């Protein structure tokens, strides 16, 4: 049965973040809520297992000591798989902001602090699921699949371009097809990956005003994205 995460209301999370006191990890919070239906309520045992899994990965990359950017990105890729495997969520439940806020502020505040610090509230309070420390990783694993080599090839900047554009990021097949084309071409091109993916996503968004990518089969979708990337390469070379 799918899980229902505990949910932490935004005002409670804001109070925790604005307090001068450190936020201590816990398996529950006295003000947490649950959705009334839709699955099985996550138990403290479920959450303890998830916490240990995430922290085990974090320790491999330097937690609790300060880590460089490369180590933290590598942590993200492995943690994405752990979250997907440890949280059997429906897309409806995963779209609830309060559950991710609970994970950041109650279950994993030490790991959240290590990954992003305390200054950027979006990383703690899930106002944007593509920016939140933990929700973004779960969705990455959903879009690309657990253990995805393609996901491991992509930088944080690449993923921002793909997943923060809702017309693209809302279609997993389209994200994978465009990402695969960009990675393939950037491996032997002198054009910078960042420039290529920014130009390609802009071109794709314009084309999506006239083409429904969901109506294309896999072969046509791959060809469509190849054409977009080829157009970008020609423009950038010029």
Sequence-distant (≥ 6) Cβ neighbours of residue 94 within 8 angstroms:
87, 129, 135, 138, 139, 142
Average pLDDT rounded to a whole number, residues 37-60: 97
Looking at residue 122, the DSSP 8-state letter turns out to be G
Average pLDDT rounded to a whole number, residues 36-65: 97
| Cα angle 155-161-164, degrees, rounded to a multiple of 5 | 115
Higher pLDDT, 209 or 146: 209
CA distance 131 to 127: 8
Average pLDDT score over the chain = 95
pLDDT band at 204 (very low <50, low <70, confident <90, very high): very high
Is residue 129 within 8 Å of residue 139, measured between CB atoms? yes
Q: Residue 4: what pLDDT?
A: 97
Looking at residue 127, the DSSP 8-state letter turns out to be S
Is residue 38 within 8 Å of residue 90, measured between CB atoms? yes
pLDDT band at 214 (very low <50, low <70, confident <90, very high): very high
pLDDT band at 1 (very low <50, low <70, confident <90, very high): confident
**In the chain, % of residues over pLDDT 90:** 90
CA distance 117 to 51: 18
pLDDT digits (tens, 9 = 90+) for 112-137: 999 999 999 999 999 999 999 999 99
Q: Residue 224: what pLDDT?
A: 97
Q: Does residue 54 have a pLDDT over 80?
A: yes
Is residue 67 within 8 Å of residue 114, measured between CB atoms? yes
In the block, tokens 């947490």 appear at 32
Sorted by where each begins, the domain ranges of the chain are: 3-144, 154-237
7-11, 153-157, 162-166: range with highest mean pLDDT: 7-11
CB burial of residue 206 (10 Å; 0-12, 13-18, 19+): exposed
Q: What is the DSSP string of 211-233?
A: --GGGS-HHHHHHHHHHHHHHHH
Please give the model's pTM, rounded to 2 decimal places. 0.91
Alpha carbon 37 to chain centroid distance? 25
pLDDT band at 69 (very low <50, low <70, confident <90, very high): very high
Average pLDDT rounded to a whole number, residues 96-102: 97
**How many residues does the structure list for the chain?**
238
Average pLDDT rounded to a whole number, residues 167-188: 91
pLDDT digits (tens, 9 = 90+) for 184-193: 988 777 888 9
């Amino acid at each position: 049965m799918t899980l229902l995460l505990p949910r932490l209301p935004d005002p409670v999370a804001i109070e925790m973040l604005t307090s001068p006191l450190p936020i201590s990890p816990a398996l529950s919070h006295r003000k947490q809520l649950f959705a009334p239906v839709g699955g099985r309520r996550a138990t403290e045992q479920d959450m303890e297992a998830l916490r240990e899994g995430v922290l085990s990965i974090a320790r491999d990359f330097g937690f609790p000591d300060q880590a460089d950017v490369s180590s933290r990105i590598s942590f993200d890729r492995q943690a994405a798989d752990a979250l997907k495997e440890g949280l059997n969520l429906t897309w409806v439940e995963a779209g609830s902001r309060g559950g991710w806020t609970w994970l950041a502020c109650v279950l994993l505040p030490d790991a959240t602090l290590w990954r992003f610090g305390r200054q950027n509230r979006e990383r703690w309070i899930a106002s944007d699921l593509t920016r939140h420390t933990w929700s973004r990783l779960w969705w990455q694993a959903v879009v690309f699949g657990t253990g995805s080599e393609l996901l491991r090839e992509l930088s944080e900047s690449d993923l921002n371009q793909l997943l923060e554009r809702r017309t693209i990021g809302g279609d997993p097949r389209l994200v994978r097809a465009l990402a695969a084309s960009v990675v393939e071409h950037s491996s032997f091109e002198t054009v910078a990956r960042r420039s290529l993916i920014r130009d390609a996503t802009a071109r794709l968004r314009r084309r999506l005003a006239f083409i429904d990518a969901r109506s294309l089969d896999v072969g046509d979708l791959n060809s469509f994205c190849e054409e977009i990337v080829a157009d970008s390469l020609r423009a950038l070379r010029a």
